[in-house]
Amino acid sequence: MWRCSILATASALLDLLPVLALWLSIVHIVSAEPSLATLALYAGIALFGVLCSIWALSRAMKTSHLVAFEAVHALRLDLAHHLGEVPMGLFAQRSSAQTRSLIVDEPERLEQIIAHAIPESVSGFISWIAVTLWLFAVDWRMALVSVAMTPIALGIMAIAILRGNREIGRLHSASAAFNGAIADFFSAMPALKVFGSGQKLHARTAKTVGDFADMQVRIAQRFLLFGGTFNSLILANVCIILPAGLMLLAGGSLDIPTFLFFLILGSNYSQPFLKMINQMGQLSQVAGALEHVNKVLETPAQPDPGGVSLPEHGELVFEDVRFRHADGTLALDGVNFTVKPGSFLALVGPSGAGKSTAASLIPRLHDVTDGRITFGGTDIRNAPLADLMSRIGFLFQDTFMFSGTVADNLRVGKPDASETEMKDALRLAQAQFVPRLPKGLETALGAKGVTLSGGEKQRLAIARLILKDPDVIVLDEATAFIDPDNEVEILKALHALAKNRTVIAIAHRLHTVQRADCIVVMKAGRVDDKGTHSELLVRGGLYAELLRASRSARESCLREADRGASDDG
């Protein structure tokens, strides 16, 4: 970065050579007979100045861009590394647009700022100082006159900013309100089209547009009109340099060459200064530009001391587990249950009871806030995360497939899987659509290949898990619902996955898990009851109520009046 700044400064200083050459030329012809040799010399000086200045600038720019891209490179590596260390649950639901902004767009902004702002503000500052010193060295009185406009203009600018500050804050909130209203309006479009009455909403949205525009106009009037004046003054140096110079000339205390010097150099005095102010403004934006990146980098890494190794098999036990979300809400308030190896445990309960939260703690997508989860007697936080990941497989709502072939994705589950093994897994996962794809296992997925439906991706994910062959599976029954036409296939696949393994399943439709070894009924972050289906039924309570509601929903019909037979018990 130093080399770049030096080059940029050199360029700015060399830029003065043509100005100097012009001055010398003018002084020459004013005071003597024009001599071609002298003028040729001056032209040469100017040419030298231009060539070297531009050369230095282009080298400076190339260097600064290099430095900037390296910095961005380092930032992205840092980011990538960090993403591998933070709890997985934190970034689960990011859209690809948000990810894009995080990994691609925001770091690019850093590049723009570093590549331009740093060299230009450094060179602007130094050349501004240099020119100022030079002017004062030549004649302090004229120098004073030349620089006089600057503090006046700055003063006006400062007043304008102070006056505008309050308004800027209000503008931001008006802008946020406006953005929100617009987004809202469009996402509600289908409802507005059908229900015809969009009048009130439209009027409300139009009002935020009006409010926002009014704010902008108000700020323009208070702040920017001042800014406009500042703009004029900065460039109008010549208006005071000229008369002052003439007066000093008349008084005899100034000679013509010096007068000309100030006329030429002084008039251009403000340019580097303006540039520097602009660039410093850019630099101040760094913090804001990297908002999301910083948020990720500041997230503490998930502790993975990995001292104790995790046993191969064992009971999974929730011991008085409590979990609080980042925003403070208590999701689990003392959850206790045991999953014996090879058994099937179902988590049921009304929405918001904490079933998904509890399930997500098992693969440590988040860590418990209090209490502990043990596997084979060992606290899962004490064992290496890699160990846990090899014992546990989980299937939640978002299935991700890499772009690559089907085989590549299956090998994620088992790197050395043979073709036979893959085909078997696909069969068990009811993924018979794969052989029917254009290139079978070697078909490419993603933007440049085939796009799979939600249900098809689910079944591939199940096949992937079958290949991984973990001891414990955590799954969400809701994954079957995404594809109503292939629901049966997905359910069969889930069944194949669950065979001969320890299974913890989040269930929404109670009748699907009636044969579970243990049903844990949750409510408001606590375990309301647990036992087998018959045990729970006998005890009555929440489970019975949920079961009744579930049956009633299944049997209720859109056209009561047309139904002949009554529902079965």
75-134: contacts with other proteins (CB under 8 A): 76-77, 80-81, 83-84, 88, 91-92, 94, 96-97, 99-100, 102-104, 111, 115
Output 508 or 526, the one with its CB closest to other proteins.
Answer: 508
Task: For CA atoms 400, 406, 408, 411, give the dihedral sign.
Answer: positive
Helix, strand, coil shares, percent, the chain, to 5:
65, 10, 25
Site map for other proteins, 486-515, x if CB under 8 A?
xxx--x--xx--x----x-x--xxxxxxxx
By beta-carbon proximity to other proteins, the closer residue of 70 and 320 is 70
Which residues, 347 to 386, sit near other proteins by CB under 8 A? 349-352, 363, 385-386
Single out the segment in contact with other proteins by CB under 8 A; choices: 119-127, 372-380, 437-445, 481-489: 481-489
Rg (CA), the chain: 36
Establish if 553 lies at the interface with other proteins (CB under 8 A). Answer: yes
Among 484, 534, 566, 569, which residue sits at the site for other proteins (rule: CB under 8 A)? 484
- What is the C-alpha to C-alpha distance for residues 488 and 491, in angstroms, rounded to an integer? 5
For other proteins, the binding residue among 19, 280, 283, 537 (CB under 8 A) is 19
Among 109, 481, 537, 544, binds other proteins (CB under 8 A): 481
Candidates 363, 346, 332, 397; CA nearest to 507 is 346
Name the DSSP class of 558.
S
Is residue 168 a contact point for other proteins (CB under 8 A)?
no
Determine the Cα–Cα distance for residues 201 and 187; give it in Å rounded to an integer.
12
Spell out the alpha helix ranges (H) of 469-502: 487-498
Strands 344-348, 316-324: pairing kind: unpaired
Residues 172-211 that bind other proteins (CB under 8 A): 178-180, 182-202, 205-206, 209-210
Q: Which is nearer to other proteins, 133 or 213 (CB)?
A: 213
The site that binds other proteins (CB under 8 A) totals a number of residues, namely 178
Instruction: List, in order, residues 6 or more apart from 109 with CB less than 8 Å away.
Output: 289, 290
Looking at residues 512 to 531 of the shown chain, list those that interact with other proteins (rule: CB under 8 A). Answer: 512-516
**CA–CA distance, 354 with 351 (Å, rounded to integer):** 8
**Can residue 301 be called a binding residue for other proteins (CB under 8 A)?**
no
Verify binding: residue 532, other proteins, rule CB under 8 A.
Answer: no
Token pair for 463: 């096949």
433 binds other proteins (CB under 8 A): no
Closest approach of Cβ 320 to other proteins, in Å?
Answer: 25
321 vs 388 by CB, closer to other proteins? 388
Q: Which stretch binds other proteins (CB under 8 A): 41-49, 118-126, 130-138, 159-167?
A: 41-49
**Other beta carbons less than 10 A from residue 501's beta carbon:** 18
Q: Residue 165 interacts with other proteins (CB under 8 A)?
A: no
Specify the amino acid at residue 220: A
Distance CA 494, CA 337 (A): 23
> Rule CB under 8 A: is residue 25 a binding residue for other proteins?
yes
Cβ neighbours of residue 73 under 8 Å, at least 6 residues apart? none
* Positions 444 through 473 that interact with other proteins (CB under 8 A): 447, 453, 455, 464, 468
Give the distance from CA 357 to its chain's centroid.
24
In whole angstroms, how close is the CB of 251 to other proteins at the nearest point? Answer: 8
- Round to whole Å and give the CA distance between 390 and 492: 24
**Distance between CA 529 and CA 542 in Å, rounded?**
8
Note whether 436 binds other proteins by CB under 8 A.
no
The Cα 183–Cα 315 span in angstroms is 49
Which CB, 371 or 438, lies closer to other proteins?
438
Min dist. Cβ of residue 385 to other proteins (A): 8
Q: Which is nearer to other proteins, 371 or 547 (CB)?
A: 547
